[in-house]
Amino acid sequence: KAGVTQTPRYLIKTRGQQVTLSCSPISGHRSVSWYQQTPGQGLQFLFEYFSETQRNKGNFPGRFSGRQFSNSRSEMNVSTLELGDSALYLCASSLEGVTTDTQYFGPGTRLTVL
């Protein structure tokens, strides 16, 4: 079974631009969560989607948004990029997102903002 895939793997943008990252969960998984990983703050939860609905949201500004499609694939968007948005963005999928589910992480998209 294929793992979680994320595209693109690397991205370079400039301040003020916007970016869209994509995540394809493991087949059959309906819950997708997004995390930001930086050297200073570590891994921080962004949001979680289940059945095309945002179910949980972390403490990030409204510039960070996401969506989920009917096939469970998910995208996250960051508008008006800032230098501090440079990070590894990870998505994780699980079957239903309930307590007993294992979250499987993708390899991440490394975003550099210049």
**From the list 66, 108, 111, 113, which residue makes contact with another protein (rule: CB under 8 A)?**
108
For residues 51 and 59, give the distance between their C-alpha atoms in angstroms, rounded to a whole number.
Answer: 22
Supply the minimum distance, in Å, between the C-beta of residue 41 and another protein: 8
Cα dihedral 7/12/17/19 (nearest 10): 10
Say if CB 113 and CB 13 are below 8 A apart: yes
- Does residue 8 have a cis peptide bond before it, meaning omega lies within 30 degrees of 0? yes
Widest distance between CA atoms in the chain:
40
The window from 14-22, 35-43, 65-73, 77-85 that contacts another protein (CB under 8 A) reads 35-43
**Piece in contact with another protein (CB under 8 A), picked from 14-22, 29-37, 61-69, 70-78:** 29-37
Task: Name which of 17 and 41 has its Cβ closer to another protein.
Answer: 41
Chain positions contacting another protein, by CB under 8 A? 4, 31, 33, 35, 42-45, 48, 50, 55-56, 58, 90, 92, 94, 97-108
